[in-house]
Amino acid sequence: MNDRLKFAAFGGGLVVLFGAALGIGALVGEPAAPAAEHGHASSARPDEDTASGLQSSRSGYTLTDISAPAEPNRPGVLRFRITGPDGRPVTAFEPLHDKQLHLIAVRSDTTGYRHVHPELGPDGTWSIAWNWAEPGTYRIFADFSPGTTAGDGPGELVLSRTVEVAGDAPPHPLPAVSRTADVDGYRIALDGDLSTAGSELRFTVTRDGRPVTDLEPYLGAYAHLVALRTPDLEYLHVHPEGDIGTTPPGPRVAFHAQAPGAGTYRLYLDFAHGRAVHTAEFTVESSTAPAVSSGHEGHGGDHR
């Protein structure tokens, strides 16, 4: 099956998985969630919002309150746990794209995007060194697949919470819609349109005007794509068509994507080259009209 942009629909029965959801709820069972490192944690009702990527509990699993520095430029540690249907911290996770858990952090105005991988402690606490660059409201997404001894887990889940970082936080204006992005000396060109009907998005990576044909494997693929709809930050995640070893390592990376609705999205393309990970950011519009193919065929094969 070709990769689809995943929007986990709450109670929905959609064929395509679209992430999971947030609504910050109370932790039940023992042990208790980690205490806020600087007297700060998020709170809200589990059923606050049923939209994709906007819920802290799903399928019996819960993302606990998040402990993190409460002020910008104050180094500390970000901590949380995932609890299971029995209320206890989950300590077994299935590898998902080379990692047990992917953490995505972004400010409410879509700035400050980070894709990192915390470490899991024996007691089920995930932790990573952390420092906020700016004050504001941030959303933290945990993308993971809980493991079970019976092998009948729920599969991939995305749970999310918000964290408030103290200080004056005027929003940054949303960048204009653009087909190109420049980052770290690379230029990335986007071909294709995001559509609710499903479409192919193709990214071409160049450096100094020359095609990059030796992209490095990153988390089991040549690139990863995260999209967030504005202003609600609905979470979308998709992996490229084709597999390492059968797909050319650049300059083009293709994704099959399907948006849940019309709107403005921020796209974050992570790729590795020169022994470093780079993130190209785009603003795009999605429509409900069927996407028109450019006639440029994408890579075959499945990648999940």
pLDDT digits (tens, 9 = 90+) for 149-169: 555 668 889 999 999 999 998
The beta strands (E) that lie in the chain are given as 57-58, 61-63, 76-83, 101-107, 114-116, 119-120, 125-130, 136-144, 157-165, 180-183, 186-191, 199-207, 210-211, 224-230, 234-238, 252-257, 263-273, 276-286
The pLDDT score that the predictor gives to residue 184 is 97
pLDDT digits (tens, 9 = 90+) for 175-189: 999 999 999 999 999
Q: Provide the pLDDT confidence category of residue 289 given band limits of 50, 70 and 90.
A: low
- In whole angstroms, give the CA distance from residue 58 to residue 160: 10
Q: What residue ranges define each of the domains in the chain, with the CATH number in brackets?
A: 1-169 (2.60.40.10), 180-286 (2.60.40.1930)
pLDDT digits (tens, 9 = 90+) for 190-243: 999 998 888 999 999 999 999 999 999 999 999 999 999 999 999 888 889 988
CA dist 16 → 178, 237, 257, 258, 269 (Å)? 27, 12, 10, 9, 21
Q: Provide the pLDDT confidence category of residue 53 given band limits of 50, 70 and 90.
A: confident
The pLDDT score that the predictor gives to residue 161 is 97
pLDDT digits (tens, 9 = 90+) for 88-118: 999 999 998 889 999 999 999 999 999 999 9
pLDDT at 300 over 70: no
- 8 Å CB contact between 28 and 87: yes
With 0-12 / 13-18 / 19 or more C-beta atoms within 10 angstroms meaning exposed / middle / buried, residue 165 is buried
